[in-house]
Chains A and B, each alone.
Chain A
């Protein structure tokens, strides 16, 4: 889906000099989440450098790139879980580090790539999504109950609300963890591989849910997604590769610029089928029938 607000502008590559035009500053201030000249390093290893981009409300943005390209690192930095070595991340125009912890937690909901199994029940896990909304003693509020209920219904996890998470299958757990993220009711959702452990029909459900969150509720959804076909159903793409942002823009722009082939350093063949973009592996059919 094209974003009329963006005017079709492709984002710069990571090595571009910092932009200081007034128009750009206005963009940074209006986007719920943005970063300027961000570099992420682990020790002496540089994961990403010179990243400047913004993500928008009402849009689902997918981060794609080869293994080790920094998808998770960028998401962790955007969530404020790891401070970038250089540069600044802005949440609603204010540096992320300047936000009080609990207030920030109400603005940004985060889903980890591999959440640890917990002995808690599914309902208790989803209730943790309301952690930043309550005080330390966490009295049950009717608002909290309603948010938890909505999140569990939306992810189809209500049926096992009172089961221990350790007794659920990988896919069921993932839906509970997704419900926990939705229960925050934050304006920005940051999801690291939200379709992990899910079978294809449920991956489709999640994609539909993320799209509904963005388009129907005006949420800014950002997710790292491994599956290229699924990522191409997002509104916008951030393509990472070679320690930088290869491109940042709509799916049409990504395909026109062949950003995926650049990022993966190999021919990435995308075909269109009934309006959807699908990745076609360059693999001959099996010789054994």
Chain B
């Protein structure tokens, strides 16, 4: 079958597409520059004035070397990967649910991770000494298992992944139930509140090289299926029926991508606790500045998410020096203000 040949010589759509592609490349370069600047800033800024000086940082002093290579660099790198994972998960969640308000914690993953950590702490006899015995990997593992359990329960409750509205409702129900259970457990063990507070508000202060490496590996693992299914997410924007008619298997697409969201969220939450707004705001930052396909969105959202968390980490160390703010509180402030501006602009344009 063939349609009549067009009368015009050049395909103007292709010209427009190449212009959009150049625009996207420039946008990527700009965000890479922002990330490098933030990385430089994060390496320089410490919680006291002496540790913030460049001369001290690059002095032959053994202490400054440890601060730079063993504390600040892994923390900065790890924060970027954690933010990138949340940005990626947010971009995927918004695509799967065709909802710009979707975020990585939507299916109860955050509440599940919190419950997992609480149970792990109780199992380790709740004491701070017990924490050392359990080790960071134990808490990370518990957070991951909790997040996975939450998403499995959500899928079971919604009887599959075909009904997105059912999935969202089930996710909300499971999140409430798990939060309630966590609160009940914490009521019985008030001494655990302080440890849980760090987890619930989020902190990048515990990221070492092992955490940063783990986050990097998980990011690479998640990026591959995200890229493979990105065109499927484009098709999904036209509706379930149309996507299916194009040859897409909706159960495979949704299950795979929800698996990616779970893995990315569980890894990030396991390392830095529950940091809100990054997964919600990062995809919006991309969409506000570019007309993108999901392939471009899923490259751009991690870049924005990583830079956002680095910026929040930097601010958390800077604002009330020598003390530190919880990074989750900073991202909530940045993200909240950004969404208010977005809403104001939308109302103004309407």
Contact = CB atoms under 8 A, between A and B. Distances in A.
Contact of A105 (B1, B227, B237, B247): B247
Interface residues of B, number: 38
A158 B246 contact: no
Interface string B1-45: 111111110011110110110000000000000000000000000
Interface string B84-107: 000000000000001000000000
A123 B19 CA distance: 13
A83 to B, nearest CB: 12
Nearest to A151: B3
> Max chain A CB contacts within 10 Å: which of B13, B16, B246?
B13
Given A118-B237, A119-B237, A131-B247, A149 B20 contact: no
A212 B276 CA distance: 55
Given A124-B234, A177-B238, A217-B1, 20 more contacts: A76-B241, A101-B248, A102-B247, A106-B247, A116-B98, A118-B234, A119-B292, A121-B16, A123-B17, A128-B235, A132-B247, A153-B4, A158-B8, A158-B13, A161-B12, A161-B13, A182-B3, A185-B2, A216-B4, A217-B3
B74 to A, nearest CB: 34
Contact of A116 (B8, B229, B238, B247): B238
Nearest to A110: B245
Nearest to A76: B241
Contact of B6 (A111, A153, A182): A153
Nearest to B292: A119
A98 interface: no
State the majority secondary structure of interface residues on B.
loop
A201 B229 CA distance: 39
Interface of B: 1-8, 11-14, 16-17, 19-20, 98, 227-229, 231, 234-235, 237-239, 241-242, 244-249, 287, 291-293
A149 B248 contact: no
B2 A217 contact: yes
A28 interface: no
Contacts of B246: 105, 128-129, 131-132
Given A161-B16, A164-B291, A115 B238 contact: yes
Q: Which 7 A-B pairs have the closest CB atoms?
A: A105-B247, A162-B16, A110-B245, A161-B13, A132-B247, A118-B237, A153-B6
B6 A150 contact: yes
A133 to B, nearest CB: 9
A206 to B, nearest CB: 14
Contact of A162 (B17, B241, B244, B287): B17
20 contacts: A105-B247, A110-B242, A112-B238, A121-B291, A125-B238, A128-B231, A128-B246, A131-B235, A132-B246, A137-B227, A145-B14, A148-B11, A150-B3, A152-B13, A153-B3, A153-B7, A154-B3, A154-B4, A158-B13, A162-B19
Given A105-B247, A110-B241, A150 B235 contact: no
A123 B13 contact: yes
B156 to A, nearest CB: 23
A125 to B, nearest CB: 7
B252 to A, nearest CB: 10
Nearest to B15: A162
Interface string A89-120: 00000000000011011101111100110111
B291 A158 contact: no
Contacts of B244: 80-81
